[in-house]
Structure 1
Amino acid sequence: MGKIYRQPSELSSNYDFIVVGAGNAGAVVAARLAENPAFKVLVIEAGLSDNEEGSDVLRMPFLAGRASGTKFDWNYKTTAQEGLGSRVVEFPRGFVVGGCSNINNLVYIRGPKNDFDRLAEVSGDPGWSWSALDKYAKMNESHVQAWNGNDGEYDPTAHGHGPLKTSLVAEPSELDQRVKEASKQLKNEFPWKHDLNSGDCLGLGWIHTTVGDGQRSSSSTAFLNPALEARDNIDLLLSTHVTRLAPTEVGGVDFRVVETAQTANGISTKITAKKEVILCAGAIGTPQILQLSGIGPKAVLDRAGVAQLVDLPDVGQHLQDQPFIFYQWRANAPTLASHLRDPANLSSAMAEYAKSKTGFAAGAARYNTIAFLRLQEAEMTRLLEGARDPAAGPDSAHFLWMFVNTFVPNPGQSPPTEGDWISVSAVLQSPTSSGSVDIVSYSAFDHPAINPAFLSTAFDIGTMISAFKTIHKFFSAPAWTGFFGEPSDEVAALINDAAIEAYIRKYATTIRHPVSTARISRADEDAGVVGPDLKVKKVQGLRVVDGSVLPFASAGFPQAQIYILAERAAALIKETWA
């Protein structure tokens, strides 16, 4: 068995690979590398074990997302966002083995073929295309039945045989059935798609979730923990920050030395990788560590008091994230709003789950259907004003909706105390705004300045306004007859573009999909941070494998894309050192 350590001083000094971060990507890369018994792998995780006290909040599907703001969260905040009325927004990231795969909202949707084909084009490597990555997607994930044996509507050929388990809704609600029927009635504008993981996801369909056997399936449960249990060539170090990466020689550019500490004033320990350091700390942690190591834009490093060792201006820049917001309507049919208001129903669900991992709490029952949609051509032309379409291609969405079978308040709103309600979340899927992640000091224990620059372009706010107005067109289908009551008071007041814009800027927040802070580019380009093989440019011994390398906001959900990215990255690393 692999060993789990809580003190750097207990470690062996003999590791071929050091994987920094045990999140979505890091757990996969480490587990796959450990399949070769000749490799000795160390994983360093700043956060907690996924078996820590209180970890039920990570595993129970009904509690998905509730770990935000707890000890399992880095508890980051953004800088004041001008596009959101100068609000500071909470920015959850997983501070736990499994990373965000253990605290996210479970959605597993790979996105359209366009998105991966654009990645291949931007990187100059056809190995990142949809068709080339198909085998990695299928070795990563497998479809399983929901807790009640329901297989759902899906395409078996789009799914594989991997350890990550995904499933569909156990018990579709009346809201879900009406969404599907309305889609079929308005099929030219809102087509129904059989399986949103098939590469064709422009339209509406069922949400696939990372749930199997009645509990969350994550990078730790599917990959890292099984590897630690089965192999003796992989170790995990917990509760330890990587404070910087250092050259093996003074003045050199071989960054295989990893410096760690457990507190801001604690003892510093150095560990050297024989083959590679693989940085998997995510779209916030990865640029922070690179900048602390003297790799990045000089102005940022100078302000933080860090000497620049390698000039890579794109490190921490081009941050893209996707803002979203909720709209609410009364329903003339039972929804979860009234069901959840009765404590007896919640107690019953929890008791059943504790006994058998079945029932309401064993699935993501609030949200089951989703829509990926594009702007109308004339509207897109007007908003872009001659600029390039930010979507990956003609089959990629500009915005999406998720249909939620209860009242979901935006930050600052209060839920009603009576009645049945549904909500629709609108997400800006292809933003043109971009920001930055910049260190503010030379300490790894000081959070960096996170500035997604939400809604800072006319295209972005215009697309969000259009997303709301398009909802009314969808709700005009005959399938909705008799279902709706009145909208919430605030939604009822959204009678013109100015009112809609004010509502969006007042309430929008992050859907937690940051990318692009160490983005991929062609090997011969000066721009970018990593080349097509994910090796950091201008240095040796260092790769990045996480969402930071994705060059644009995901047209699907980044969780799924990062899993696939990590599978191919592990194969590339194995091939390099075979």
Structure 2
Amino acid sequence: MAWLKAPLLGLTPLLALSGVVNAYPSTLLALRDREVNAEQLQASYDYVIVGGGQSGLVIANRLSEDPSKSVLVVEYGYFDNNPAQLDPSSAVNYRPINMFNVSSVPQPGLGGRVSGAFAASVVGGGSTVNGMMFDRGAADDYDNWEKLGNPGWGFSGLLPYFKKSTNFTAPRADLAEEYGITWDAKKAYGTNGPIQATFPDWLWPTIKVQWKAWAELGVPIQKEAAAGDAYGAFWVPTNNDQTYRRSYARSGYYDPVASRKNLKIITGYRTNEVLFSAKKHAESITIQERGTPNGAPTISVKAKQEIVLCAGWLHTPQVLQRSGLGPKDLLDEAGIKLIVDLPGVGANLQDHAVTSIGYSYATDLSPNPSSLYTNATFAAWAAEQWLDRKGPLSVGVGNSLSVPSLPQMSPNYKSIIAKAQVQNAAKLLPSTYTSVNVKGFVAQRDLLLKTFSKRNNGVVEITFSGGGTSSLSNEKPLSRGTVRLNTTDHYAEPIVDFNTLINPTDTDIMVESLKFARKWFATEAMKQLSPSETSPGVNITSDADLAAYVVRSMGSTTAHSSGSAAMAPRHLAGVVSPELLVYGVTGLSIGDISLIPMIPSTHTCATMYAVAEKAADLIKKRSRK
């Protein structure tokens, strides 16, 4: 094997595996963070962006392209200059300083377990700490946004922005030929966008067997999923540059333009409220230094044109609620003056809940992912390769997915749909939902159940990268949760309830996904690996036992939380219009993941670059009127 033929320089310390011995790119080291402090703040800016996460930096970049427009970004977190944060290993290692410390309330659908919640607190937001899988949902996912009452937000309306945000580089020719990697760069990607996408320098040999097994099972094999065909099995690039360093909102959208005189950022400050005029125009925000107690001095900053909320799924609804925009009952309880009764603020919370299936391979191919820990010679070779930014350590969480449709996955799909169609929606939704919330959910459910019967959209994501364990994520949940202000402490973290698995359809689908994954492991192709099931376990066979396994093993989140300030018609509990303007007020818009009305069957990073690019264009268009 090739790795055995390479010269070894001895056992490199395992510290090299983490990438911390590699220098931060010189261009980033030379760049000074162009921050302002409180004393340097101006009284007003044309645009004030609340949140310097992924979407906030995209929008700030695009709005500051006009040198006559001043832009301020207010971010609670800080810059992370740790070189290891750029390496593939960071895809599964989230530094606590970059994350909010938030957990959900106990989840009845999970037997009362509490779930952690992922929300980034760092410049670049979720793009700084995510798994770097750079895929998109099926065209049908985004077309459903449009069918819900959001003209211009279907796949054809978003594809130009998907392309605008990307710079795709094909994989190494020999690797592509050996592993059958396929893509369609012209149809799906841009060539000079800020975010780079490519494939790693290495793939595990066992993945060839796994790909063969999907084909044997009859799962459609896509040439390029990012062009709208994200169903079946397909290859997924990683948002890395050509040295396998993280390409993210900071490196792509902020660092190259940080020296613009009209673009400023202040870090370490919390946005407390948006303040409105008597005519309900958003005039300013109040901000407070991180770590200071409630009641400490605040600073007011005015926006001459627009305030753009990009505080994420967790804090955008919280800022709205603190500002008097949200469900009347909640604001009354909190003692906050109501500006606009918007029942959708903090409702409609969705995520991709996840379980797993595990096997051990008695006759696995070598090397394999466990070789990094069980084979000292291979580990040393891998570490030496990584000194030149090559080899196995260029691999992140993986580059292959299977997202089967419900008809592909289950012979029972019609009965699953039929059961969902006759559900009493109100009984399966949070008790805080109003009739407007219920009506909005039913409109979503009607669209989702039509999608469930299609073969060109998937309902569960099954990961595979050469190992024996695969995660199974529920990509189209019917359960809905909430993000609600803590009424006794408005500045504490909001109360999060994912409501995972409350809708029994979600459990039904996950049971079918486990049975389908077992069929995959039982294919003729997989026999050469001699797989034996370790979880759920061969003794768990009935649907009831599989459902019980789902309840005790499911996690509420894959860090794709979204939808908590949805873009939808107001009579369907929408919070923002298709122009992303908050209903009932002027001068206030939303540009982050909270506006997604229905979560797509994909990791959300690539989608949010496109959404933010489109948001910036909408804001620019308003300024020209």
Same fold (TM over 0.5): yes
1:531–1:63 CA distance, 2 compared to 1 (3 A):
same
Whether the 8 Å contact between 1:283 and 1:515 is mirrored in structure 2 is yes
Instruction: Give the one of 355, 358, 374 matched to 2:390.
Output: 358
- Equivalent residue, structure 2, for 1:179: 210
**Compared CA separation, residues 301 and 558, structure 1 to 2 (3 A):** same
Q: Which is richer in helix?
A: 2
- Go from structure 1 to structure 2 and tell me whether the alpha carbon gap of 1:351 and 1:311 turns closer, same or farther (over 3 Å shift): farther
Q: How does 1:294-443 map to 2 (within 5 A)?
A: 294-331=324-361, 332-333=363-364, 334=366, 335-341=368-374, 349=382, 352-353=385-386, 355-364=387-396, 366-376=397-407, 379-384=412-417, 385=419, 387=421, 388=446, 390=448, 393=451, 394=454, 395-406=456-467, 422-441=468-487, 443=489
Q: 1:258 maps to which residue? A: 285
Question: 1:540-551 residue pairs with structure 2 within 5 A?
Answer: 540-551=586-597
State the match for 1:515 in structure 2: 562
Q: Distance in 2 between matches of 1:350 and 1:258?
A: 49
Farther off after superposition, 280-289 or 439-448: 439-448
Q: Does 2:301 match 1:274? A: no
The aligned amino acid for 1:323 is A
Partner of 1:293: 323
Structure 1 window deviating more from structure 2 (299-308 vs 552-561): it is 299-308
Distance 1:76 1:398 in 2: 28
| Partner deviation per Cα, 1:68-114 (whole Å, 9 max, x = no partner) | 5x111112111111111111111121110110111111111111111
Listed one character per residue, the Cα deviations across residues 189-208 of structure 1 (whole Å, up to 9, x for unaligned) are x1111112110121001122
| Map of 2:70 onto structure 1 | 40
Aligned 8 A contact 2:562 2:594 in 1: yes
Contact preservation (8 Å) 2:202, 2:391: no
Give the partner amino acid of 1:470: F
C-alpha change, 1:437 and 1:216, in structure 2 (3 Å) is: same
Closer, same or farther: CA 74–183 of 1 in aligned 2, 3 Å: same
TM-superposed CA distance for 1:302, in Å, is: 2.8
Whole-angstrom distance in 1 between the partners of 2:174 and 2:88: 16
Task: Please list every run of 5 or more consecutive structure 1 residues that lacks an aligned counterpart in the other structure.
Answer: 407-421
1:205 aligns with 2:234: yes
Alignment counterpart, residue 25 of structure 1, candidates 48, 55, 66: 55
- How many residues get paired? 550
Q: Residues 153-232 of structure 1: matches in 2 within 5 Å?
A: 153-157=182-186, 158-161=188-191, 162-187=193-218, 190-213=219-242, 214-229=244-259, 231-232=260-261
C-alpha distance in 1 between matches for 2:174 and 2:279: 58
Q: Is the 8 A contact 2:328 2:343 kept in 1?
A: yes
Give the secondary structure class of the aligned counterpart of 2:272: strand
TM-score of the superposed pair, with normalisation by structure 2: 0.83
- Deviations along 1:197-244, one digit per CA (max 9) or x if unpaired, are 110121001122111131111111110121214x21101110111011
Amino acid at match of 2:212: E
Deviations 1:159-184 (A, max 9, x none): 11211011124322223211221233
Query: Structure 1: how far apart are the matches of 2:450 and 2:51?
Result: 29
TM-score, normalised on structure 1?
0.90
Q: CA RMSD in A?
A: 2.3
> Which residue number in structure 1 is paired with residue 501 of structure 2?
455
Report the secondary structure of 2:601's partner residue: coil
Other structure's SS at 2:329 match:
helix
Residue of structure 2 equivalent to 1:419: none
Aligned identity (percent) is 26
Q: How far is the alpha carbon of 1:489 from its aligned partner?
A: 5.9
Distance 2:535 2:267 in 1: 48
- Within 2, Cα distance between the matches of 1:236 and 1:351? 39
For residue 83 of structure 2, the aligned residue among 30, 39, 56 is: 56
